[in-house]
Amino acid sequence: MIILDHEQGTDEWFAARLGKPSASNFGKLITTTGKPSSSAEGYINQLIAERLTGKSEPFYTNEHMQRGTELEPEAREAYEYITGYKVTEHGFILDDSEEFGCSPDGIIYHNPQYMTGVEIKCPAANTMVKYTRDPQSLGKAYFQQIQGCMLVTGAASWDAFAFHPEIPPVMVTFCRDEGYLEKLAEQVKAAVNIILNQVEKMKCK
């Protein structure tokens, strides 16, 4: 695990993850059942293009995403209050291969040998109600990302924490699914191999 403490959303952060599969997009490589995703080819092509051009795809955002970003510090404080944990923020964390990584919302260092993490979501009210009525739907929506963060960091578990200032928070804890992590690692590493091979072939001489 290699930690790069570039603030998320900065030029340095975009440069660090350029052309590398990241946990937030692992759902484009693998389904929740462990099968290759139909989106894999397009995502791999995007990452190849990023490596060749040195430019990333424009980062899509909308009103709800902007609101979520603004609420995240308040949500993190709420999570710390509820759990009693101290959350450490990191920009981008690379796997030891330095070819894929994740941008966690928070890491909790319980002791030098034991860490967990948290994925924070600040959804619109109607989505928050959905998570309140069916907490497991929160984890299902971000299953590949959460397992991917554990793959990269080696964390023992990961909390999915949904926050809305006018609705009680929802939290679901996910443990490592070793069988799924094996399949995820295979898909991610296969994608990395394709990316590296194609970039080498397509480089301008």
What is d(CA 26, CA 146) in angstroms, rounded to the nearest whole number?
Answer: 9
Per-residue pLDDT of the chain (205 residues; tens, 9 = 90+): 899 988 888 888 888 999 999 999 999 999 999 999 999 999 999 999 999 999 887 666 667 677 777 889 999 999 999 999 999 999 999 999 999 999 999 999 998 889 999 999 999 999 999 999 999 999 888 999 999 999 999 999 999 999 999 999 999 999 999 999 999 999 999 999 999 999 988 876 5
Q: Per CATH, is 2-202 categorized as 3.90.320.10?
A: yes
Whole-prediction pTM: 0.90
Q: Where are the domains of the chain?
A: 2-202
